[in-house]
Amino acid sequence: MELDRREAGFVGLGLMGAPMAANLLGAGWAVRAWNRSPQALDDFEARGGSRAAAVDELRDMPVIIFMLPDLSYIEDASAGLLARWASEPPAPGTVVVIMSSVSPTAVKDFGARVAAASGGNAVVVDAPVSGGTQGAQDGTLAIMAGAGEAEFVRLLPLFEAMGTTVRRLGPLGSGSLAKACNQLIVGTTTAALAEAAELAERSGMDVAALYEVLAGGLAGSRVLDIVGPRLAARDYEPTGPAKFMHKDLSFVLESAAAAGAAAPMARAGVGLYAELKRQGLGDRDLAVVRQTISNLSDNTTVTTN
């Protein structure tokens, strides 16, 4: 059964959140939003949305979406909401949807706290997304949900207003684990493409021409199609801060340790993106990992045995 009311609260109108919330409005949802900076709320109101002065003003919404950088931000933003629910429980069936990339383990703990604070009337669903700012704008995101079957069915119209590939992967935490796997592939593939670009260019080869021929073979991928032009052009204008890849790959290591799975690529990626942050490049686009590798090349003597 679908949600009784096509109304939603939305917390976080950043590079991803703003177009996602706009697509909900375009699909006929009544959306009330909170954001730290007022400019994003002004733009949102101009699109037909309404604003909340505080997150706890969203307490009566049947579904509240959080799109903030990490779970610590969500916990801080929702503290007043949970305190309000402790004294005035929400309606049964209220859903909190975490669409950020967060720890698969920690989101389960957060779900338990929400259930306790709401007297069991609210549940948490994790539904992180992939597709970048372009996918958020176009409404073509891939949405990976960790939810019970009933909650997923109720939320499906909401998800389909923001994405075209929507799947339930299992219970709470499964969506975040799927996103961690996604980031493992995206982060290490981008790093490999960046490394290939530096090797090619320093050897006198044209990077764009290299990528063109790679795209026609087994090395072709969506990552190459989307990130490749930025890597070739050294275009590091942010479509999403690169520093978050370090966080996301750390979640892979956390999950691998819990599952008893080896994760050598994730471990290498964590080290590389930690170096990216040390170089002060964390606020640039993910493609800036090429600059990180270039800087390493300029400061390393490469030897072979």
CA 246 to chain centre: 13
> Among all residues, which ones are annotated catalytic?
179
Which residue from 296, 268, 272, 266 is spatially nearest to 286, judged by alpha carbons?
Answer: 272
Q: Nearest-CA neighbor of 9 among 112, 173, 122, 86?
A: 122
Coil/strand/helix, residue 272:
helix
Contact 89, 118 (CB under 8 A): yes
- The residues, any chain, with a CB within 8 Å of residue 80's CB and separated by 6 or more, are 54, 55, 56
Owner of token pair 């976080």: 12
Separation CA 94–CA 125 (nearest Å): 11
